[in-house]
Structure 1
């Protein structure tokens, strides 16, 4: 199973590297959860695909001046989890680059993303993007 999950994430990130986020969104289960752990203003849990899109993605992408890309460097799969080390790149409308490094711990089931825990430089997010 983990080879299928790993391949799915590799396919998703091949598209994200080109600026195409549709396969990523399409893979989210309706009960998908996005978690940013920690104590920063960006730390929160969004529960449900609709909440992730409306409360996290839409406001976030509204701050971007050009196409967001995300290049994966490593995939590690075990059981129902795929860990992706990656780097995003985009220019903000305020003229600041937002080039963050991430470690995504993704839990998948039945070919869908069920949960993503995002580890990132929250100080960079705050400096480049402001508070959520």
Structure 2
């Protein structure tokens, strides 16, 4: 079990690494019309998309349609930069027939933030077509590159100017010795 499912996924991966017309055809050819794609997390595009049309338009297409969103006009991925072919690292068959894909993308947000994400896709194949995708990736990067949100600083903070030595507060622990409770001072206050 898993050999045929793995081949279906590998064929789809090979097809989506082609030109933009080939990508659309690859979804039509290798996905069930009632397939689902779930992106974990709490980003504005996280959730489950049901049906091939919703996957293509509401999920994948939404990655580029930043101008239709509320908020900054620099949302979405840059169509000028495009998405470079996926770098597939590994494709593994599971005992239950599902297939796991590890891959990387290379894109650019309209705001100039590089979109080089890493993915783990858990793929379910039914009747020689992809029936479900469960996607795990760096959702903070989605927020930064596609929604122009600063989740973590993009530049390192300036060095601290505090020259005082660190102060560790007094800490106590308790332990049992022969049925009695004994307190022990673990740290000494800095003086």
TM-score scaled by length of structure 1: 0.86
Matches within 5 A, 1:1-132: 1-19=1-19, 20-22=22-24, 24-26=26-28, 27-62=30-65, 63-65=77-79, 66-68=81-83, 69-78=85-94, 79-130=96-147
More strand by share: 1
Q: Assess if the C-alpha contact under 8 Å between 1:42 and 1:122 holds in 2.
A: no
C-alpha root-mean-square deviation of aligned residues, in Å?
Answer: 2.0
Q: Unaligned regions of 5+ residues in structure 2, if any?
A: 66-76, 149-191
TM-score scaled by length of structure 2: 0.62
More helix by share: 1
* CA deviation after TM superposition for structure 1 residue 18, in Å: 4.2
Q: Unaligned regions of 5+ residues in structure 1, if any?
A: none
User: 1:62-81 CA deviation, whole Å, 9 max, x = no partner?
Assistant: 43333312111011112331
Q: Assess if the C-alpha contact under 8 Å between 2:43 and 2:142 holds in 1.
A: no
- Higher RCO (CA-CA < 8 Å; seq separation 6+): 1
